[in-house]
Chain A
Amino acid sequence: MADEILVYEGVSKKLGGKEVLKQINLSISEGEIVGIVGANGSGKTTLLRLATGLIYPDQGEIRVAGKPVRPGLLGDLPVSLGVLIESPSFLPYLSGLKNLLLLASIRDQVNESKVRESIQRVGLDPDLRKPVKTYSLGMRQRLGIAQAMMEDPAIYLFDEPTNGLDHQGVEMFSEILTERTDQGACVVLVSHDQEEINRFCDRVYRMESGSLESVREKRVKGWRLLVESLEDVEKTLLLISGSQMSERKNGLPTVICKGTWKDEVELRYYLDQHGIQPVEIQVNAS
């Protein structure tokens, strides 16, 4: 496929004499969110690390935007990566803004206002002067997400990204994912939390004993919801991130949204649970 941006082809990797990954084949396209679940130590994080070039496969090939990840390529990948692997890594004695400004100065692609905007986007105060070492786990995680997204990378690699985030934080993360994939970025999301993966991802894989097994393939579809009242519109906009109000149809207020519900019945059930009863649901709305 022409828009495949991250490809693993027959990738195997041994760490400490143990075969962590066995013949992994996976390709991810632009705008796609792929989730990988698995127990601790199953090789999920190693799979992400391989894409960054921090470590190299023993067998097989990884291609980022068509360019093989080879020894020496680290840091010279053809597209930029937004990475949050394991716990966010910052200099503990500097503030969040200073940490991000230092990182942004390396490529000089974004200015200070963009960095500030990214920090605000994740719900942190860019003017907070206290050092990162005094941040809570959730704050560090938010800063890690801001670090990953501030340069608008083409590929996002997230390892347990909602670790330590509260409900609002998870919602914020969900909105960011929608926003970025709408812009064409692809996301690989690794978590031990099946529910989280199911919620966010188009395709889901399970990593077990170093092998990748497809759990679910699902595609994001466009939906048009015709509701009875403006109150329902408001409820829907609040419930479904990225949803937008559209022109009335058949005289009824309309909301368009994207989601991975299997069919109309599944979406109707979901809306019903949240007190919304649409008059009509149309699939593949533009």
Chain B
Amino acid sequence: MELSCLFHEREVLWMVRSLIRMEVVRLFSRWQPWVAFLLLIGVLIQGYEVFYPEPTIKVRDPGWFNVFLAFTKTHGYDLALLSVTLPLIAVMVAGDSLAWDLRTGFMHSILMRMNYKKYIMGKLLSVSLVTFVFVWIGEWIAFIYGMVRYPVLFPPAVSHGSTPDYAQSLFMDHPILYVMLIIFNTSMAAMAFSTISLALSTKIKNLYVVLALPWLGFIVIEFISQVLGSRFSPLNYIGQYFLSVFSYHTLEIPLAWTLLWVISWMTAYLLFVNHFKKGGKHGR
């Protein structure tokens, strides 16, 4: 019995591994992830340039002029575009993967070789992982770019209005860890958006709608939160939490994205599984 369980677990792991491999192959074979990568790096560089201080500021406040602060600011300072474009970038990586499988009928070929529950679990896991790693790597590349563009100096002292309010002590004491936290938050947000796309794919076959809806939803919810003056603003949660008047707790941002990820994961899983339980005709 124990042996058969072990065998079953190994079999499941193997199938998940093969789905991850499938996502990686797709990542390098399609143009959308490349565009997403260029967009990600582009908006991060744009963020650096928006923040790049005037020479007078450099003289006045050297604490401003360092890569750690610059990298933080690229995520939502002034006109930095990352927080506005991340939902779109994230879904372009692999968010339409399930929609492709359904649209082309490739899913049927997969389901002749794999149980549908394992398939959707593996799909959710592999797409999440690929998106997370993709954004994680993109962010690190952007940070390395920042090291070339800005001096690598530790922030000397708290400067009100410029030093982030979010996890301020971590920023001052361990700026590298702070950068990791920011990257983690952004990658988690990206992962949540791609999972929302997967959930939508269980009901919608149009690839463009699957890609655009999370972004449109983001804009609508942002508009509502602006009208209501709510702290639950997607824009703040993606990148403008550093200097927000709402003073977000260090754990609030990663937990919020984790929660959204789990909810969209469960929604996608239940919608997909429920369809097959009914014995419906999925896809074509």
A74 to chain B: which residues have CB within 8 Å? 111, 115-116, 276
Selecting from A33-41, A87-95, A237-245, the interface stretch reads A87-95
Q: Is the interface of B mostly helix, strand, loop or mixed?
A: helix
Selecting from A97-105, A187-195, A248-256, the interface stretch reads A97-105
Q: Do the beta carbons of A75 and B280 come within 8 Å of each other?
A: no
Q: Do the beta carbons of B114 and A75 come within 8 Å of each other?
A: yes
A86–B105 Cα gap in the complex (Å)? 10
A139–B143 Cα gap in the complex (Å)? 47
State whether the Cβ of B21 lies closer than 8 Å to any Cβ in chain A: yes
Other-chain residue from B105, B277, B282 in contact with A72 (beta carbon distance below 8 A): B277
Q: Do the beta carbons of A89 and B104 come within 8 Å of each other?
A: yes
Given A74-B276, A75-B116, A75-B118: A85 in contact with B108 (beta carbons within 8 A): yes
Given A102-B21, A105-B18, A107-B113: A90 in contact with B106 (beta carbons within 8 A): yes
State whether the Cβ of A76 lies closer than 8 Å to any Cβ in chain B: yes
Q: Do the beta carbons of A106 and B18 come within 8 Å of each other?
A: yes
**Digit string of B100-113 for contact with A (CB within 8 Å is 1, else 0)?**
10001111111111
Most chain B CB within a 10 A radius of its CB, from A15, A52, A105, A151 = A105
Most chain A CB within a 10 A radius of its CB, from B109, B115, B280 = B109
Q: Do the beta carbons of B115 and A91 come within 8 Å of each other?
A: no
State whether the Cβ of B224 lies closer than 8 Å to any Cβ in chain A: no
The chain A residue with its CB closest to the CB of B122 is A106
A89–B112 Cα gap in the complex (Å)? 12
A76–B11 Cα gap in the complex (Å)? 12
Q: Do the beta carbons of B113 and A106 come within 8 Å of each other?
A: yes
Tally B residues with Cβ within 8 Å of A. Answer: 35
B119 to chain A: which residues have CB within 8 Å? 75
Q: Do the beta carbons of A83 and B113 come within 8 Å of each other?
A: no
A158–B96 Cα gap in the complex (Å)? 29
Q: Do the beta carbons of A83 and B108 come within 8 Å of each other?
A: yes
Q: Is the interface of A mostly helix, strand, loop or mixed?
A: loop
| Interface residues in A38-52 (C-beta closer than 8 Å to B) | 49, 52
State whether the Cβ of B279 lies closer than 8 Å to any Cβ in chain A: yes
State whether the Cβ of B60 lies closer than 8 Å to any Cβ in chain A: no
Q: Do the beta carbons of B277 and A54 come within 8 Å of each other?
A: no
B112 to chain A: which residues have CB within 8 Å? 52, 75, 80-83
B115 to chain A: which residues have CB within 8 Å? 72, 74-76
A73 → B minimal CB distance (Å): 8
A52–B111 Cα gap in the complex (Å)? 9
A72 to chain B: which residues have CB within 8 Å? 115, 117, 276-277
State whether the Cβ of B56 lies closer than 8 Å to any Cβ in chain A: no
A52–B115 Cα gap in the complex (Å)? 11
Given A75-B111, A85-B108: A108 in contact with B14 (beta carbons within 8 A): yes
Other-chain residue from B18, B118, B277 in contact with A71 (beta carbon distance below 8 A): B277
Given A75-B113, A75-B119, A108-B14: A54 in contact with B282 (beta carbons within 8 A): yes
| Interface residues in B76-92 (C-beta closer than 8 Å to A) | none
Q: Do the beta carbons of A106 and B277 come within 8 Å of each other?
A: no
A91–B29 Cα gap in the complex (Å)? 10
**Digit string of A45-66 for contact with B (CB within 8 Å is 1, else 0)?**
0000100101110000000000
State whether the Cβ of A147 lies closer than 8 Å to any Cβ in chain B: yes
Q: Do the beta carbons of A54 and B109 come within 8 Å of each other?
A: no
Other-chain residue from B18, B118, B284 in contact with A108 (beta carbon distance below 8 A): B18
Task: Name 5 A/B residue pairs within 8 A (Cβ), A-sorted.
Answer: A49-B281, A54-B111, A85-B108, A87-B105, A147-B109
Which B residues fall within an 8 A CB radius of A? 14-15, 18-19, 21-22, 25-26, 29-30, 100, 104-119, 276-282, 284
Which A residues fall within an 8 A CB radius of B? 15, 49, 52, 54-56, 71-72, 74-76, 80-83, 85-87, 89-94, 98-99, 102-103, 105-108, 147, 151
